[in-house]
Amino acid sequence: MTDTGESAPVQLARNFNELLQELRVALSGVQILFAFLLAVAFTERYADGPSYIRTIHLVTVILVAISFGLLMAPAVWHRVLFRGGHRERILTIANRFTLCGIGFLAASMTGTVLLITEIAVGGITAIILATCAAVMFTTFWFVVPQLITRNET
């Protein structure tokens, strides 16, 4: 029995199901962001904008694609390796991929903030707002969980 009172296989199945549910939530946001970024490429302001705007856009699209690949991989592995007895190993690696995918999502969200604010207002304001977004994502998604676990010990 585990510390939750579940047998190890039951806890493993629950943990895997929880991870897949979390990925469903994250992937919805990633898909919406990806669609938005693809649509931006067809706007007049984008087409007439300077090349650095297109560079920011391209880098951000690549970051979203990497995030999608990392976040989608565990669900694919679950299906490809179904009933293969690899669930514990998949869960360990899937957790790492999920954290990396969330990191790339934070970077792509920051890139999106930079892109939109650069088009809307430009200059130092865009850089400040993108930096604030990066700090917010880093704090909320990575620092706060570390503080929570540190306070438990």
For residue 10, the one-letter residue type is V
Q: What is the pLDDT of residues 24-45, one digit of tens each?
A: 999 999 999 999 999 988 888 7
Say if 30 falls within a structural domain. yes
Residue 2 lies in a domain: no
Domain span at residue 120? 8-152
In a domain, 1, yes or no: no
Domain-embedded: residue 72? yes
Q: Is residue 44 assigned to a domain?
A: yes
pTM: 0.86
The pLDDT of residue 56 is 96
Write down the pLDDT at residue 1: 60
Q: What are the pLDDT digits (tens) for 85-122?
A: 788 888 999 999 999 999 999 999 999 999 999 999 99
DSSP-assigned letters across all residues of 45-92: HHHHS-HHHHHHHHHHHHHHHHHHHHHHHHHHHHHHTTTSS-HHHHHH
Q: How many domains does the chain have?
A: 1
Q: Are the C-beta atoms of residues 23 and 98 closer than 8 Å to each other?
A: yes
Tell whether 3 is covered by a domain: no
